[in-house]
Structure 1
Amino acid sequence: MGESVAGRLFSVLDAFEGGGPAALRLTDIAARTGLPAPTALRLVRELVAWGGLERGADGRYRLGLRLRVLGAAAPCPRGLLDAALPALRALGARTGGHADLAVLSAPSAEGVLCLVSGERPPAHATAYGKVLLAGPPEELPRHTRHTVVSPGLLAGQLARVREAGLAVCAEEFRLGEVSVAAPVRGPSGTVAALGVTVPTGVPLERVAAAVREAALRVRPPEPSPA
């Protein structure tokens, strides 16, 4: 029996996981899903009409607003974000940067989901990911000349982040940006990373202190009983 229509739709959405490009061409989607190009095109058009995908002016497709809204409404991220919002607002005002809360976006641990912006940056190239990663992901694409792509170097960084309880990532994802993040801990360990992105050149001592204080203020909601 062939794969169901729902299964094929899910495979199209799964093509955007894994820490690769945020925007894909139709040929990329067909290659990642193994679907014939006409089938992939039909499913992509249905997802665009529903709002699950968006088509850019360059012809590439990216995850759409409707998926971001649904993801943000999920109990775990929604509860985390609600608990963190006061600390995030204070952190943004104190540092002048963009404050966000992030969780790992998939079991593959190759990307993070930022709950405020909806962005899905690569875990290995952001302070958020370096707080959350247990070890180097399988793929380490280079985003700037500063991106750490050696598994050994990254493993050393992650060990130091766990020891310090703070990650600083300078221009590894985008030039001109530095991200600083700290763990948000619950009873069972780290549940999210709270941090801020500021322009390169901003003195980081005060930023780091503000991030630590903000993360300590967040009390994750208790999980609902089964």
Structure 2
Amino acid sequence: MSQAEIVTIRCLTDNYAYLLRANGRTALFDAPESGPILAMLKERGWQLEQIFLTHHHDDHIGGVAALVSETGAQLIGAAADAHRLPDLDIAVEPGGSCEAAGLTAHVLDVSGHTVGHVAFHVPDANAAFTGDSLMALGCGRLFEGDPAMMWESLQRVNALPGDTLICSGHDYCASNGAFALSVDENNDALRRRIEETAASERPCAPATLDEERRTNPFLRASELAAGRDAASPAEAFATLRRMKDSF
């Protein structure tokens, strides 16, 4: 097996897409738009074989038609979301697995932002492609699910090894960081991460799960629950999510 390589591609105004290269093969995770992705494939001399979709929102599937037309790539997504995704070649189920660039990808249910949202954990690439579930310094807004659903989803991701790269769907780092500081102002690791991100032109994702555990308020609900009248970490998460929605 060849060493896996992950390339982060900025798309639209604040989206990220990811190319996974291994075994001489190339897979894409989410397709916000085709132009930057095709440009990166051309620059690298790679042929796209697979497109994995985390959920149905337009800013994650908008480039699918052009990419499939240009490359003939196979389309993979959640069976539960198939009715509102582009026509899938392979429909996957949470708890199952599939092949991505010759590596095994485990499918996780991360419903909350939407119902039927999935993440793909690729252990041999040391990465999880989480879309709008667990995100850099935050988590997705709850458009379809409820706080309990999203909390359970975050715990599934949080159970992965700490050195797993969390490849999330957006660069919301400035706003997420500002909110995180407002509820976790004494967190030195958080402050350093925000400062380093602001000083760098590099994408703020991926970051390791351990880094998210240290700095992401939505994974730190247990620690931040004190003084917030929360009877459980899940209730603390719900409070934090409501606070973020109005921040």
Which structure has more RCO (C-alpha within 8 Å, separation ≥ 6)?
Answer: 1
TM-score normalized by structure 2? 0.32
User: Which one has the bigger helix percentage?
Assistant: 1
TM-score where L is the length of structure 1: 0.34
